[in-house]
C-alpha cells in the first residue's frame, strides 16, 4: 500500500489524480480508527450486571459485632440496603457518611445491614468508633460465604432489596446520596423532607 | 503540604511546556538564539518539575499519606517500602506521572545533546517534544490528577494491586516498557521536524536510528520481562496470551523494528523515505493507542484499570498526532522522492522490502485481532473475543517467513546479485537446514511448527556463521591477527552489521525456544492429600504438607502453601501457594518454577481444602523456556552493540554519548 508512495511523486503514475486525491488518505486512516476506539467508551470492563437482580436475596445467618445473630429472614418486610464493606477500604470511608445520612433520612422505613468483607471485628469496631456508628447491624462473614453468594467482587458493593426480599438494584463502588435516593424511590420509599 | 507542592509542580510544568512549544517555534522562525536557549531551559525545567512531583508521590507512598486519594487507593500501612516505591506505577494517575518523568527525561537528553547542532531541525524537534509533554501535564492537571486529596482521611488502605505486590519483577517490567514507549516520542519529533523543515535527507535518519534503537531495546526487554513476569506470577504455565495489552506493547515494537530495517535502506540507498517517515509516525501513534487501550478500560484485560476520564483525552491525542502527522507527510510527499530505485529482484534492498511488508502484515494482523471485538461491537454484533489460537495461526507463518529473510537479507549485496553467487552463498546453509529437519524428524519430533523453526534457524545460523568465519579469516590473514582478535576488531569496526547478527542470533534462540515450549510441554492436574505422589514427564512429586501463614514482611497477606518434594531430572523441594491479599477478591497464585537449561518444572496450586489438607496441583514441564529469556537478553545486547559509540572515531562525543541511556554494554567499551 504505502510502499507505492516510496516512488517519487514527480514521476508518479497518474500523478494528477493522485495529487488531487491524496488528502483522502487522512480521513480514510483516521476516521475508522477513531470510530473503533470510540466504541469502547462508556464501557467499564469491571461491570458485570448482577445476575441476582430480580431474584430473591441469598439467605444468610451471621453474627453481628455486638454478638447477636442476624438472619436474612428477620430483615424481610421492608426495603433493605445490604452494604458489603471493610475497614481497610478507602471508598468505604468515602461512602460512610452517605449511609449515616440515609439512616437518618429514612428512619424506620428502610432497614440497613452491613456485611464485613475480609475484615475482623476489631478492625470494624475501630472504623465505627472513628467514622460514626449508624446503629444498624454489621455482620461478620469470616468464611466469606455470604459475599460469594451475593457475587461480591470487592467492597464496597451495595444491594437494594425490596420488601418481599427480591434484589432490585446493585451499586459497584461507593454509593452517593443520589444513588440511594433513586434506588429507594424505585422500591417505593421517599425520604423524609 | 507536600502533596500541594506536587500538584503545583504539575501546573507549573504545564505552563513551562506550553512556553517551550511557543519559544521553540517563534525562536526557530526568527533564528533567535536567546529565545531558543530559553526554550531549552524550559525543557530541562519540565524534567525537574516532573521529577519533583514524582518524588513527592513516592514520599507520600512511603509515609502512607492517605490524604492523597492515590495513596489511599494503592497503599496500606503494611506495604513494604519497596512495593510502596514501585506503586508509583501501580495505577493510572501514578503511571501517567512516571510516564511524564521519562518523557521529559528523554526530551532533556535530546535537547542537551544537540543543543548546538542541527540548527534547522532542533527547534521543531523541541517544539514537538514540548507539545507531547504539554499533553501529559494537561492530563495530570485535569482528568488524571495524581494529587487529589480526600477527606475524611482513612487510617488504612487496601495496599497496591495484588498482582503488582506479589513479585519484585513488577519493579522492572513496567519501567522498561515505559522507557520503550516514551522514547518513541523522540524519533517522532525528529520526523515531524524533518517534514516541517523539508530537511528530509539522510540527516534526520542518521540521528533517529540510534534514538529509535535505544527505546527499542527497552521495549524488547520490557516485553520479554513482561512475558517472564506473566510466567512467574500468573500461574497458568504460559508466558504469552495475546492479551490486548501485550499486543499493545508488541504493535509499536513491530513498527519500530520495521523502521530500524527500512531506515538502513533509506540512509544507504536514499529509498523508502516516505515509508520510513510513515513508520516513525505509526510507532508513536501506536504507543498512544497502547496506552489508550491499557488505561481507558476499552478492552477487557488483566491490565485494565477501571474506566476513567482519561480516555477521551488520549483519543484526542491519537487523532491529532495521527491526522496531523499524516497530513504533514502527504503535504511533503514531493520532497520525499527516492534517490534511486531498488535495483534487482535478488538484492538486499528487496529483502528489506519484503521484511517490511511482513512486519506490516504482522502489525495489521495483531491490530486487527486486538480491535476486532470493538469493530464487531461498532456494527452491533455483540461482544466477542479473539483468542490465542487465531493469533497463532495468522502470525506464526509470517514470523517463519521473517526468520527466513533474516538469513537471506544480510547475506545479499546491495544493488543485486547473480543467481550463481546466491547459489554459492545459500547452497550449504540450505542443505544444513534440510539436514536439521531430517535429524529432528529422526529423533521423533512431529509437531510442524518447531520442525520448521529449527530448519529455518539452522539455515540462518549457518549463513551468519559463514559470513562471520569468512570475514574473520580474511582479516586474520591480511593483518596477521589470531581469530579472536580478528573477530573482535572486525565486529567493533562494523558494529551495525555484527550487532545485527548478534540481535538476529537472539531472535533465533527465542524462536526455537518458543516453538518448542509452546508445542512440546506436558502438564497434569491432581488432587493430593499429604503423602500422596503424582508423576509428570519423568518427575515424581510428593505432596508433604499444607500450611496457612501470614507473610513475614506483610501481615495482612495470608499464604496458603503446599510443600512438595520432587525427584527426576531435577531434585529438591518447593512450595507453591495461593495468597489472599486484602485488595484482591480472588486469591493470587504464587507458582513455583524450577528452571534448568533443558526444561522448567512449574507447579501451581489451584485449590486447597484446609480441613482435609488436600491440595489440587497443576504441574507443567515446559521445555526450553529459559532460552526465551536468554534470547531476549542476546537480542538487547546485539542492538546495544550495534549502536555503541565508537571511542576510536569520535573521542569528543564519547563522554556525551555515555549519558544516553544504554542498558547493557559489551565488556570492552
CATH number at residue B12: 1.20.120
Q: Are residues A175 and A139 in the same domain?
A: yes
- Residues B271, B304 share a domain: yes
- Nearest chain A CA: its distance from B89 CA (Å): 19
Helices (H) and strands (E) in chain B, counts: 21, 9
B105-108: which pairs have CB atoms within 8 A and are 24 or more residues apart?
B105/B47, B105/B50, B106/B182, B106/B183, B106/B185, B106/B186, B106/B215, B107/B43, B107/B46, B107/B47, B107/B132, B107/B133, B107/B185, B107/B186, B108/B43, B108/B44, B108/B46, B108/B47
| Same structural domain, B348 and B437 | no
Asked if residue A39 has pLDDT above 80, the reply is: no
CATH of the domain at A147: 3.40.30.10
- Identify whether B365 is part of a domain: yes
Tell how strand A69-71 and strand A138-140 pair up. unpaired
Which stretches of chain B drop beneath a pLDDT of 50?
300-306, 649-669
Residue A103 in contact with partner chain B when CB distance is under 8 A: no
Structural domains in chain A (count): 2
What pLDDT, on the 0 to 100 scale, is given for residue A172? Answer: 78
All residues of chain A having their beta carbon less than 8 Å from the beta carbon of residue B60 are none
Partners of A130 on chain B (C-beta within 8 Å) are: 155
**Cβ of A45 and B304 within 8 Å?**
yes
Same domain, A180 and A93: yes
Bridge-based pairing of strands A138-140 and A111-116 is parallel
CA distance B595 to B602: 8
> Residue B219 falls within a domain, yes or no?
yes
pLDDT of residue B445: 86
Q: Are residues A174 and A95 in the same domain?
A: yes
d(CA A181, CA A60): 26
Q: Do B377 and A23 touch (CB under 8 A)?
A: no
Distance from CA of B73 to the nearest CA of A (A): 6
- Does residue A86 share a domain with residue A172? yes
Do B583 and B640 lie in one domain? The reply is: no
Q: Are B185 and B321 within one domain?
A: yes
SS3 category, B416: coil
Which residue's C-alpha cell is 494537561? B138
Q: A166 in a domain, yes or no?
A: yes
Cα distance between residue B115 and residue B125, in whole Å: 11
Q: Are residues B537 and B510 in the same domain?
A: no
Contact A172/B at CB under 8 A: no
Which residue from A139, A125, A176 is spatially nearest to A62, judged by alpha carbons?
A139
Answer whether residue B165 is part of any domain: no
Please give, rounded to a whole number of angstroms, the shortest distance from the CA of A41 to a CA of chain B.
6
> CB of A2 within 8 Å of any CB in chain B?
yes
The reply to whether B429 and B493 lie within a common domain is: yes
Between chains, do B315 and A93 touch, taking CB under 8 Å as contact?
Answer: no
The residue segments making up the domain with residue B14 are 1-160
Q: Is residue B669 a part of any domain in this protein?
A: no
> pTM for this structure?
0.82
Give the distance from CA B507 to its chain's centroid. Answer: 14
Domain co-membership, A20 together with A78: no
Q: Examine residue A5 and state whether it is found in any structural domain, yes or no.
A: no
B375 and B413 within one domain: no
A6 lies in some domain: no
Q: What pairs with residue A160 in β-bridges?
A: A81, A169
Centroid of chain to Cα B426: 33
- Rama region for A119: left / alpha / beta (φ>0; ψ in -120 to 50; rest): beta
Residues of A in contact with B305 (CB under 8 A): none
Same-domain pairing of A18 and A105: no
Specify the DSSP class assigned to residue A58: P
State whether B378 and B429 are in the same domain.
Answer: no
B7 and B135 co-located in one domain: yes
DSSP B346: S
Do residues B577 and B549 make contact, with C-beta atoms less than 8 angstroms apart?
A: no
B528, B557: one domain: yes
Query: φ and ψ at B417, to 5 degrees?
Result: -150, 170
Domain range spanning residue A92?
61-186
Q: Is A132 on the interface with B (CB under 8 A)?
A: no
* pLDDT score recorded for residue A49: 56
B666 is a domain residue: no
Inter-axis angle of helices B202-233 and B625-643, nearest 10: 160
Contacts of A13 (CB under 8 A, 6+ apart): A7
Q: Which residue has the cell 519493579?
A: B171
A85 and A122 both lie in a single domain: yes
Q: Is residue A162, in this structure, part of any structural domain at all?
A: yes
How many domains does chain B fold into? 4
Query: Is A74 domain-assigned?
Result: yes
Residue A191 belongs to a domain:
no
Q: What does chain B come to in residues? A: 669
Tell me the average pLDDT across A103-112. 89
Whether B248 maps to a domain, the answer reads: yes
| Banded model confidence at residue A188, pLDDT cuts 50, 70, 90 | confident
Are A20 and A109 part of one and the same domain? no
Tell me: do B654 and B584 sit in the same domain: no
Q: Which of A9, A33, A90 lies nearest to residue B157, judging by beta carbons?
A: A90
Q: Is residue A147 part of a domain?
A: yes
- Inform me whether the pLDDT recorded for A51 exceeds 90: no
Q: Do A65 and A30 lie in a common domain? A: no
* Dist CA B31 CA B122 (whole Å): 11
| Sheet bearing A69-71, strands edge to edge | A69-71, A61-64, A138-140, A111-116, A80-85, A157-161, A167-172
Give me the total of CB pairs closer than 8 Å, taking one residue from chain A and one from chain B: 132
Q: Is B155 helix (H, G, I), strand (E, B) or coil?
A: coil
Task: Please tell me whether residues B184 and B156 are part of one structural domain.
Answer: no
Do A106 and A16 share a structural domain?
Answer: no
Residue B558's pLDDT is: 83
Residue A192 scores a pLDDT above 50: yes
- In B, which residues are within 8 Å of A118 by CB distance? 580, 582, 585
Query: Same domain for A161 and A95?
Result: yes
Contact with chain B for residue A110, Cβ under 8 A: no
The answer to whether the CB atoms of A22 and B330 lie below 8 A apart is: yes
> Would B167 be classed as within a structural domain?
no
Same domain, A22 and A94: no
Q: Is residue B668 part of a domain?
A: no
Amino acid at each position: 500500500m504505502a510502499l507505492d508512495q516510496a516512488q517519487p511523486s514527480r514521476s508518479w503514475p497518474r500523478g494528477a489524480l493522485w495529487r488531487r486525491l491524496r488528502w483522502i488518505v487522512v480521513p480514510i486512516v483516521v476516521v475508522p480508527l477513531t470510530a473503533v476506539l470510540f466504541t469502547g467508551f462508556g464501557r467499564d470492563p469491571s461491570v458485570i450486571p448482577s445476575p441476582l437482580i430480580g431474584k430473591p436475596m441469598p439467605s444468610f445467618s451471621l453474627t453481628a459485632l455486638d454478638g447477636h445473630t442476624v438472619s436474612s429472614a428477620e430483615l424481610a418486610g421492608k426495603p433493605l440496603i445490604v452494604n458489603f464493606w471493610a475497614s481497610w477500604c478507602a471508598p468505604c470511608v468515602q461512602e460512610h457518611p452517605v449511609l449515616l445520612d440515609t439512616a437518618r433520612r429514612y428512619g424506620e422505613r428502610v432497614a440497613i445491614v452491613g456485611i464485613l468483607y475480609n475484615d475482623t471485628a476489631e478492625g470494624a469496631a475501630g472504623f465505627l468508633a472513628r467514622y460514626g456508628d449508624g446503629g444498624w447491624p454489621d455482620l461478620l462473614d469470616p468464611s466469606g460465604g455470604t459475599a460469594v453468594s451475593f457475587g461480591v467482587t470487592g467492597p464496597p458493593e451495595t444491594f437494594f432489596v425490596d420488601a418481599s426480599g427480591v434484589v432490585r438494584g446493585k451499586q459497584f463502588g461507593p454509593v452517593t446520596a443520589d444513588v440511594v435516593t433513586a434506588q429507594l424511590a424505585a422500591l417505593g420509599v421517599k425520604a423524609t423532607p | 503540604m507536600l502533596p500541594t507542592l506536587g500538584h503545583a509542580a504539575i501546573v507549573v510544568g504545564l505552563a513551562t511546556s506550553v512556553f517551550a512549544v511557543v519559544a521553540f517555534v517563534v525562536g526557530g522562525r526568527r533564528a533567535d538564539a536567546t529565545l531558543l536557549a530559553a526554550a531549552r531551559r524550559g525543557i530541562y525545567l519540565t524534567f525537574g518539575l516532573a521529577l519533583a512531583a514524582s518524588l513527592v508521590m513516592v514520599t507520600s507512598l512511603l509515609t502512607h499519606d492517605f490524604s492523597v486519594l492515590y495513596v489511599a487507593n494503592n497503599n496500606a500501612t503494611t506495604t513494604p517500602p519497596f512495593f510502596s516505591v514501585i506503586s508509583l506505577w501501580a495505577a493510572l494517575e501514578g503511571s501517567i506521572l512516571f510516564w511524564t518523568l521519562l518523557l521529559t527525561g528523554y526530551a532533556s537528553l535530546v535537547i542537551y545533546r544537540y543543543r548546538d547542532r542541527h540548527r534547522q531541525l532542533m527547534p521543531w524537534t523541541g517544539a514537538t517534544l514540548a507539545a507531547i509533554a504539554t499533553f501529559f501535564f494537561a492530563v495530570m492537571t485535569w482528568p488524571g490528577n495524581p494529587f487529589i486529596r480526600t477527606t475524611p482521611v482513612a487510617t488504612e488502605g487496601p495496599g497496591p494491586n495484588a498482582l503488582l505486590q506479589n513479585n519484585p519483577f513488577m519493579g522492572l517490567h513496567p519501567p522498561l516498557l515505559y522507557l520503550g514507549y516514551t522514547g518513541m516520542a523522540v524519533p517522532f519529533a525528529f520526523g515531524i521536524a524533518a517534514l516541517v523543515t523539508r530537511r528530509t535527507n539522510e540527516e534526520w535518519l542518521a540521528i533517529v536510528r540510534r534514538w529509535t534503537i535505544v527505546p527499542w531495546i527497552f521495549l524488547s526487554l520490557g516485553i520479554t520481562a513482561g512475558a517472564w513476569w506473566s510466567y512467574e506470577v500468573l500461574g497458568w504455565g504460559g508466558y504469552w496470551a495475546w492479551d490486548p495489552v501485550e499486543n499493545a506493547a508488541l504493535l509499536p515494537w513491530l513498527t519500530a523494528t520495521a523502521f530500524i530495517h527500512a531506515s538502513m535502506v533509506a540512509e544507504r540507498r536514499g529509498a523508502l523515505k516516505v515509508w520510513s517517515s510513515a513508520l516513525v509516525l505509526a510507532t508513536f501513534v501506536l504507543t498512544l493507542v497502547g496506552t489508550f487501550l491499557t488505561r481507558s478500560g476499552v478492552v477487557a484485560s488483566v491490565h485494565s484499570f477501571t474506566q476513567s476520564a482519561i480516555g477521551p483525552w488520549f483519543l484526542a491525542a491519537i487523532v491529532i498526532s495521527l491526522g496531523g502527522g499524516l497530513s504533514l507527510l502527504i503535504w511533503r510527499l514531493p520532497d520525499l522522492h527516492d534517490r534511486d530505485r531498488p535495483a534487482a529482484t535478488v538484492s538486499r534492498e528487496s529483502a528489506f522490502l519484503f521484511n517490511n511488508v511482513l512486519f506490516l502484515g504482522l502489525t495489521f494482523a495483531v491490530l486487527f485481532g486486538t480491535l476486532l471485538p470493538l469493530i464487531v461491537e461498532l456494527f452491533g454484533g455483540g461482544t466477542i473475543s479473539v483468542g490465542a489460537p487465531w493469533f497463532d495461526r495468522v502470525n506464526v507463518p509470517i514470523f517463519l517467513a521473517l526468520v527466513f529473510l533474516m538469513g537471506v537479507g544480510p547475506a545479499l549485496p546491495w544493488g543485486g546479485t547473480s543467481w550463481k553467487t546466491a547459489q554459492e552463498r545459500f547452497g550449504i546453509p540450505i542443505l544444513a537446514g534440510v539436514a536439521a529437519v531430517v535429524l529432528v524428524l529422526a529423533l521423533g519430533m512431529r509437531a510442524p511448527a518447531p520442525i520448521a523453526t529449527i530448519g529455518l534457524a539452522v539455515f540462518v545460523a549457518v549463513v551468519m556463521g559463514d559470513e562471520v568465519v569468512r570475514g574473520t579469516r580474511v582479516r586474520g590473514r591480511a593483518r596477521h591477527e589470531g581469530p579472536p582478535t580478528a573477530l573482535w576488531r572486525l565486529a567493533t569496526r562494523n558494529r551495525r552489521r555484527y550487532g545485527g547478527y548478534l540481535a538476529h542470533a537472539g531472535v533465533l534462540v527465542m524462536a526455537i525456544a518458543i516453538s518448542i515450549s509452546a508445542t512440546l510441554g506436558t502438564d497434569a492436574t491432581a488432587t493430593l492429600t499429604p503423602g500422596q505422589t503424582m508423576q509428570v514427564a519423568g518427575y515424581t512429586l510428593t505432596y508433604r504438607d499444607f500450611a496457612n501463614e501470614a507473610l513475614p514482611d506483610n501481615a495482612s497477606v495470608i499464604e496458603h502453601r503446599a510443600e512438595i518434594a520432587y525427584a527426576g531430572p531435577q531434585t529438591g523441594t518447593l512450595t507453591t501457594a495461593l495468597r489472599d491479599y486484602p485488595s484482591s477478591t480472588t486469591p493470587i497464585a504464587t507458582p513455583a518454577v524450577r528452571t534448568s537449561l533443558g526444561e522448567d518444572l512449574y507447579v501451581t496450586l489451584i485449590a486447597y481444602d484446609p480441613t482435609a489438607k488436600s491440595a489440587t496441583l497443576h504441574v507443567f514441564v515446559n521445555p526450553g523456556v529459559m532460552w526465551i529469556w536468554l534470547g531476549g537478553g542476546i537480542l538487547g545486547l546485539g542492538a546495544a552493540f550495534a549502536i555503541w559509540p565508537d571511542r576510536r572515531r569520535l573521542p569528543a562525543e564519547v563522554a556525551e554519548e555515555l549519558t544516553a541511556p544504554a542498558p547493557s554494554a559489551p565488556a570492552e567499551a
